[in-house]
Amino acid sequence: MTKLAYLHEPGVLANLKSRYDINEIYTYTGNILIAVNPFQRLPHLYNSHMMAQYKGAAFGELSPHPFAVADAAYRLMRNEGISQSILVSGESGAGKTESTKLLMQYLAYMGGRSKSEGRTVEQQVLESNPVLEAFGNAKTLRNNNSSRFGKFVEIQFDQMGKISGAAIRTYLLERSRVCQVSDPERNYHCFYMLCAAPEEDMKKYKVGDPRKFHYLNQSKCYELSGVDESKEYIATKKAMDTVGISSEEQDAIFRVVAAILHLGNIEFTKGKEIDSSTPKDEKSWFHLKTAAELFMCDAKSLEDSLCKRIIVTRDETITKELDPEAAVDSRDALAKVVYSRLFDWLVDKINNSIGQDPNSKCLIGVLDIYGFESFKTNSFEQFCINLTNEKLQQHFNQHVFKMEQEEYTKEEINWSYIEFIDNKDVLDLIEKKPGGIIALLDEACMFPRSTHETFSQKLYQTFKNHKRFSKPKLARSDFTVSHYAGDVTYQTELFLDKNKDYVIAEHKDLLCASTCSFVSRLFPVSNEESSKQSKFSSIGARFKQQLQALLETLSSTEPHYIRCVKPNNLLKPAIFENQNVLQQLRCGGVMEAIRISCAGYPTKRPFLEFVHRFGILSPEVLKGSTDEVAVCKKLLDKVGLEGYQIGKTKVFLRAGQMAELDARRTEVLGRSASIIQRKIRSYMAKKNFTLLRRSAIFIQSVCRGELTRRIYERTRREASCIKIQKYLRMYLARKAYKELRLSAVSIQTGMRGMTARNELRFRQQTQAAILIQSYCRGYLARSKYIELKKATLTTQCAWRGRVARLELRKMKMAARETGALQAAKNKLEKQVEELTWRLQLEKRMRADLEEAKTRENAKLQTALEELQLQFKESKVTMLKEIEAAKVAAAEQQIPVVQEIPVIDHEMMDKVTAENEKLKAVVSSLETKIDETEKKYEETNKLSEERLKQAVEAESVIVKLKTNINRLEEKICDMESENKILRQQSLLTASKLLSENASPLPTKILENGYHASEVTTVNDILLQTPTKVYETPDSKPRRPPTDRHHEDVDTFLECVIKDVGFSQGKPVAAFTIYKCLLHWKSFECERTSVFDRLIQMIGSAIENQDSNNDHMAYWLSNTSTLLFLLEKSLKPAGTAGATPVRKGFRSPSSTSLAAAAAAIEKVRQVEAKYPALLFKQQLNAYVEKIYGIIRDNLKKDLGAILALCIQAPRTSKGSVLRSGRSFGKDSQTNHWMAIIDCLSSLLSTLTENFVPPFLVQKIFTQTFSYVNVQLFNSLLLRRECCTFSNGEYVKSGLAELELWCCQAKEEYSGSAWDELKHIRQAVGFLVIHQKYRISYDEIINDLCPILSVQQLYRICTLYWDDNYNTRSVSTEVISNMRVLMTEDSNTAVSNSFLLDDNSSIPFSMDELSSSLRVKDFFDVKPATDLLQNPAFEFLHD
């Protein structure tokens, strides 16, 4: 850098950028190494071969490299016996940690021991990095692996130059990050590693998803790209083994880390007393007990240490309650101090494991320290970090100025005192006693009533006239310090809390009493603390002492500097941001070093190099002279420079003089180049002229001969053309005549044929119309008759149903009296017999009517046929006679005409009489036919009515039989219960008398009915049947069947409403399952509950196809209920099924209780046919609702997808038509509409807790539909197969990919993979220079999923509307044609379009495997039913 002609900020930036562009990331500025982070691996720069090259090489001889700095430090230590230090600084993400690793790697290479000596010190130092990074590094805004502490590694060497010991010193760990994390940063890596540990470790420490912990979920960033936390966890444990941490200590370390996570989940609420607090809920109590278990301390003591404070006075001890806010602060303080002590223990353990050499006299220290920081919000950590950089900058300026002075003294030149900016006033402002900022902060921390506002006011009063201190406008408690790198504004809200360093006594006593020795050793008892005197200490004062000790160590060593620079904030390669780099150079002091260099003699050149470069300015000076010093002086005097210095070996030039010499050298070289160019151009022009003239003469001769030959050829061709034209015109005229004649004949033939066909078609259509009319009239008459018949049947059924219901109601009223049961039974049996007899009678009558009707129809049919035959015969006879009369009249002569009227009158009378007879016969036949049809219709109606009556009688018989069976069962049950009660009353009469009004236990019947008969002892002893269903208030009760129906009605009215969700599961489905299980409906041979449930679900989703929210709610309920049925039901006859009692009788109360207990414990039941049928119907409803939601989404996306494939041309045209509309109708509006549809549906599904498995299937099929629509549109329309359209669709697909990432794999699943066809097709469209791509590259790399037909279609339709580039080469097209020809012989279908699959993509087993039974343990039933006494079983 010092060899630049212009040593200023633009020149430095241009030099760094040009070197960065060619991957030269290292640059020297004097002895300072500038390292620009490449954000990519450059393995060729760091291998063992590269270390061997830098070994022993002089500094500056080879390219800049950290190995050169490390080698220079090692050589100075060996040769001069002086300890060295290498200071690595830079902002977060600049590569400090990697540069430190490279330095230690090279020092281990130079001073390491052989592998035969066992595990060496350098190996332990290098292997300790993963441990410190796991517990001290975190993701920040600027770096994914930012060190949140300062580290100074002291590497000790023996007399032979071998590494003999090492020590690691740390500074200012950022403790507040444990409790407070801003988005999108992360907490320390160890927390996320523990949450990704193996399953047994996660169960051991009771951790899991990091999203569940308060200390981790304050930021939405949980994972790092390219980092596997589970592998990092295993690597960290291996590193712990390497540095000597035993497995017991590792277990204790991760228990402490897990306990800190559980501490963060403890929430507090107000206690019973004023200003008191207590854990908020069961979740907080669980985490409190877990943290106490991991700390191995008492849970009650942990609660008291968080919620109470003990104040010790002279006379007594006072216990003070803390409010919830103070308890949260106490919790966070405990977490921070425990983590800080854990980190300090790890550093001490690593140092003890590595070991130090007390006999070592030389060391090399590597300082990895945070750089200057300035954010929008700057707190106490930034204040301490910037104080460190101020100290190091002062040390850096003094060292750079000292090096400049040493070089001037070495060369024995005259130099004046060079001023440099001293930042001592800033350091005094911060750390001076007693009036510095840190002193005032410690003073404020010692007063209990001090706040950040009082502290700020104290600062404003003390430093109101200080030039480095200022108060920002519109700020009440902020202050600004003018650092060497710029002004930084600090917010003092948390200064006091973060500065306090003492441990709360209750926390210390709690952890010291831990049964875990590791936890108790984190808080050793010191002499000062044992004296019960709380001596105040602060982070700022302790950090200032550590910093002072560090500077003393650096002052006793020879420093070397490496300044790390981050080229961009995107953390991506090949991006160089000038403003960002310039700010870092200023913060790192590089520009200050350049300024110091420019203040003296920035340009230094050896004599030989100077003469070799600038000797052309005065060539006569070099003649006959061998003294380089004299030649240099003459050259400089000849040029006329002033202010330069001549040293022993170099020429020293002032700033700008090197540029002036280069300018004059360039001028001399330019003049010489002009003379050379002039001579060469003259020679080339003469040579070109001679060659051009010779060529022109040769071309003229050739052209003249060619013209003559062309004239002769043209004359000969004209003569030939005339003859050819004559014969061609003759041939064309003859051919035209023949074609015209043939056309005329063809037209005539066609017209005649067309006329004949039209006539034939008209006749056929007329006949067909007549036939259709006849059938249509018959069909209309039959339809009207059928409709009338159906209406009659419906009316009859309704009336009979009403009558039957009235009868049933009367029967129910009569059935309430137990004594009338037997009479009802007899009556019903008589009715059954009577109805059976009537049914048989109806059947016989119906059969007789059918036979009579058939016979009568046959007779009428024969009579009708005979009459028709007679009518035809008479008609034929009459026609023959008329024709004969006409013939006879025509044959007779004129004179006979007078006799004809007499003969004609007779014949006419006869014919007229016969016609009248025939007409009478026909009319009588027509009347008989009409009467027959009427009788036939009446007979049909009568038979249909009787058939209906028979069917209704059969249904009534079935109902009566079922009622009789139920009544018999009830009678048997009542008799058995009466026997049991009589036996019990005889044994314990006195006990029954005392419990006169107490109800008997509820009896659970097989079909789900509750027989909770309440009887008194007197009723049992008297055995009065009429008292069985009466209460002590003498009010008649309804029978169990009626109560059950009312319970079912109440149950259905409740679940058909939106009863919400519990623990992420639908309440309605869980309530239905529990009720069916309790009623034992699954084990019933007959029950109407399932049919009513199916009707309820069907009515709920009826006419709701467009309401996705409603359909999602029922999809969640039906799928969950189907899962519960799948897990509970098993077909009848399955081996190992638990036997269930059949019937209603129970021999004793003991057996009843045992059976009830067994039923309660059984989870799987043996399902009967109604339950299995209900399960199949429910599965069909799940598939139906799923299809409706999926088709609704496809319907919404269908119209938008058509616009998406056309958007570029439309938007471009709209821009050309109206410039003002540009920007309003953006091309991405249609894609954002798709994203909105997907997001809206995803929100609806997640709000209704639809199983993620079904959500995945919906979006997977939807994305497949999008792929099919877009890909087919691309192949069918040429205007879509363009370069600009490909770019547009690609941007839309990027939006879809972003949506899939945001939706997470739990819901999106493999949806993105379904777009593979359109992704590969669009990727091919946007490739430049397609004509250079071979066919193998297309099918193997670019579009492996597309077929040859599809690729050929895209390649032939493609056209570039932006750059007019070509498609693929003709060779690729020909290869595709050959393959298509070969495939056409074997392929089943050559279609290049895709088909959409609308089937149901899942089965019942897949749905069941996606859910877990344990997720339903905490689900609560519907609250409306819990308040109903009939549903008390839901409380269990």
Length of the chain: 1436
List phi, psi (to 5°) of 434.
Answer: -95, 5
| Residue 527: both structure tokens together | 């002499």
Contacts of 1322 (CB under 8 A, 6+ apart): 1274, 1286, 1289, 1290, 1293
Dihedral angle over CA of 430, 435, 437, 441, nearest 10: 140
- Given a contact cutoff of 8 angstroms between Cβ atoms, the answer to whether 480 and 489 are in contact is yes
Residues 137, 147, 265, 492: which is the catalytic one? 147
What is the β-pairing status of strands 362-368 and 317-321? unpaired
Triad 963, 968, 971: Cα angle to 5°: 125
Q: How far apart are CA 566 and CA 1290, in angstroms?
A: 32
CA distances from 1090 to 487, 710, 1041, 1125 (A): 77, 102, 16, 13
Q: How far apart are CA 240 and CA 128, in angstroms?
A: 8
The single-letter DSSP state of residue 1353 is H
- Given a contact cutoff of 8 angstroms between Cβ atoms, the answer to whether 1082 and 1072 are in contact is no
Alpha helices in 81-115 (DSSP H): 96-111
Catalytic residue check, 1117: no
Residue 1318: name the closest of 1372, 1352, 1354 by CA.
1354
- Given a contact cutoff of 8 angstroms between Cβ atoms, the answer to whether 606 and 649 are in contact is yes
The letter for the amino acid at 1210 is T
The letter for the amino acid at 996 is N
Catalytic residue check, 753: no
Catalytic residue check, 137: no
Residues 99, 140, 143, 1262: which is the catalytic one? 143
Q: How far apart are CA 1094 and CA 1088, in angstroms?
A: 10
Residue 273, SS3?
coil
Residues 27, 37, 89, 92: which is the catalytic one? 92
- Given a contact cutoff of 8 angstroms between Cβ atoms, the answer to whether 1178 and 1118 are in contact is yes
Residues 29, 85, 89, 97: which is the catalytic one? 97
Dihedral angle over CA of 1021, 1025, 1030, 1035, nearest 10: -120
- Given a contact cutoff of 8 angstroms between Cβ atoms, the answer to whether 653 and 644 are in contact is yes
Catalytic residue check, 715: no
Residues 30, 90, 93, 150: which is the catalytic one? 93
Residue 38, SS3?
coil
The dihedral built from the CA positions of residue 671, 672, 676 and 677, taken in this order, carries a sign that is negative
Catalytic residue check, 486: no
Catalytic residue check, 1398: no
Residues 127, 373, 431, 506: which is the catalytic one? 373
CA 1228 to chain centre: 21
- Given a contact cutoff of 8 angstroms between Cβ atoms, the answer to whether 1307 and 1246 are in contact is yes
Contacts of 1391 (CB under 8 A, 6+ apart): 1349
Catalytic residue check, 93: yes
Q: How far apart are CA 806 and CA 1262, in angstroms?
A: 55
Residues 30, 264, 371, 436: which is the catalytic one? 371
Contacts of 185 (CB under 8 A, 6+ apart): 138, 139, 140, 141, 219, 221
The letter for the amino acid at 162 is K
Catalytic residue check, 97: yes
Q: How far apart are CA 60 and CA 1087, in angstroms?
A: 96
CA 622 to chain centre: 77
DSSP 404-441: HHHHHHHHT---PPPP----HHHHHHHH-TTTSHHHHH
CA 734 to chain centre: 80
Q: Cβ atoms within 10 A of the Cβ of 652, count?
A: 21
Dihedral angle over CA of 1405, 1410, 1415, 1417, nearest 10: 0
Residue 538: name the closest of 628, 409, 396, 437 by CA.
437
Q: Cβ atoms within 10 A of the Cβ of 695, count?
A: 10
CA 58 to chain centre: 56
Where does 369-519 show beta strands of DSSP type E? 469-470, 478-483, 486-491
| Active-site residue list | 92-93, 97, 143, 146-147, 371, 373
